[in-house]
Amino acid sequence: MKEGLPGACLAPSILSADFSRLKDEIEKVAPFSGMIHVDVMDNHFVPNLTIGPPVVASLSKATSLPLDCHLMVENPESLVKPFARAGAKLLSVHAEATVHLNRLIDSIRSEGMRPGVVLNPATPLSSVEEILEEVDFVLLMSVNPGFGGQSFIEGSIRKIKRLRSMMEAGGLETKIQIDGGVCRENARQLRDAGADWLVAGSAVFSAVSSSDAARELSELING
């Protein structure tokens, strides 16, 4: 079930990129990335508004990297088909945004995408314990979602370690993705705690050279 997923990698978040030149921004970091993270915000689930399926459809023609779309929206059910048609390869949904998580995860997989479940910093791991086998990845938020450039919440390290232990106890190959405040200073610690995929927005796209920043992060992740 987990075949074909990227190994340990950097997932640059285009939230902090220059939206007027997304193709160029992605090309600069692509050699050091396993996927491109796309933050979808609806101004209801989170207090910010970003991009949707039309932009993802254009990006899917502009890069061969898998597009990893993180839905921070109310009623995520209504966006599964539009994101599949737009070319999203991975689609993650917040456990806090649905009461029918199992059905939602099934629908993402039946649309041909790889499903992930996301937890806000204050949401306990127990809320996804029963679904760990059905998802391809769990995304732990290490900031409160809505904005790039926030500080990493230190307690997230313990949460990653506990999730990794749960996966090992169950013999699961479900990937662990971390999103929020990821930077050069904590990347190695996050990998050591058990994270597979590290999302980084401002640490990549607000750097003087996004390609140098992506290369350094990727070396820390794979070193």
Smallest distance, ligand DX5 to C-beta of residue 103, A: 24
> Which C-beta is closer to ligand DX5: that of 109 or that of 147?
147
> Which of 33, 34, 37, 83 is close enough to bind ligand DX5 by CB under 6 A?
37
Q: Encoding tokens for residue 139?
A: 């995304």
- Site map (CB under 6 A) of ligand DX5, residues 2-31, x = contact: -----------x-xx---------------
User: Which residues in the 23-42 window bind Zn ion by CB under 5 A?
Assistant: 39
Distance CA 128, CA 201 (A): 26
Residue carrying structure tokens 């023609």: 61
Q: What is the DSSP letter of 173?
A: -
Q: Encoding tokens for residue 167?
A: 């996966």
Smallest distance, ligand DX5 to C-beta of residue 49, A: 12
Catalytic residue among 42, 68, 136, 179: 179
Query: Does residue 180 belong to the site contacting ligand DX5 (CB under 6 A)?
Result: yes
User: Which residues in the 76-115 window bind ligand DX5 by CB under 6 A?
Assistant: none
**From 56-64, 81-89, 127-135, 198-206, span contacting ligand DX5 (CB under 6 A):** 198-206
The sheet with strand 67-72 has its strands ordered as 9-12, 197-200, 175-179, 137-141, 114-119, 90-94, 67-72, 36-41
Query: Could you say which of Zn ion, ligand DX5, none residue 16 binds, taking C-beta under 5 to 8 angstroms by partner kind?
Result: ligand DX5
Catalytic residue among 39, 42, 136, 196: 39
- Amino acid type, 14: I
User: Which residues in the 50-79 window bind Zn ion by CB under 5 A?
Assistant: 70
Residues in the chain: 223
Provide the sign of the torsion angle of the four alpha carbons 80, 118, 73, 27, taken in this order: negative
3-state secondary structure 13-77: EHHHCCHHHHHHHHHHHHHHCCCEEEEEEECCCCCCECCCHHHHHHHHHHCCCCEEEEEECCCHH
Query: Is 39 a residue of the active site?
Result: yes
Q: Where are the beta strands (DSSP E) in the chain?
A: 9-12, 36-41, 67-72, 90-94, 114-119, 137-141, 175-179, 197-200
- Site map (CB under 6 A) of ligand DX5, residues 112-151, x = contact: -------------------------------x-xx-xxx-
Q: Which residues bind ligand DX5 (CB under 6 A)?
A: 13, 15-16, 37, 39, 70, 143, 145-146, 148-150, 179-182, 199-203
Active-site amino acid positions: 39, 179
Q: Which residues bind Zn ion (CB under 5 A)?
A: 39, 70, 179
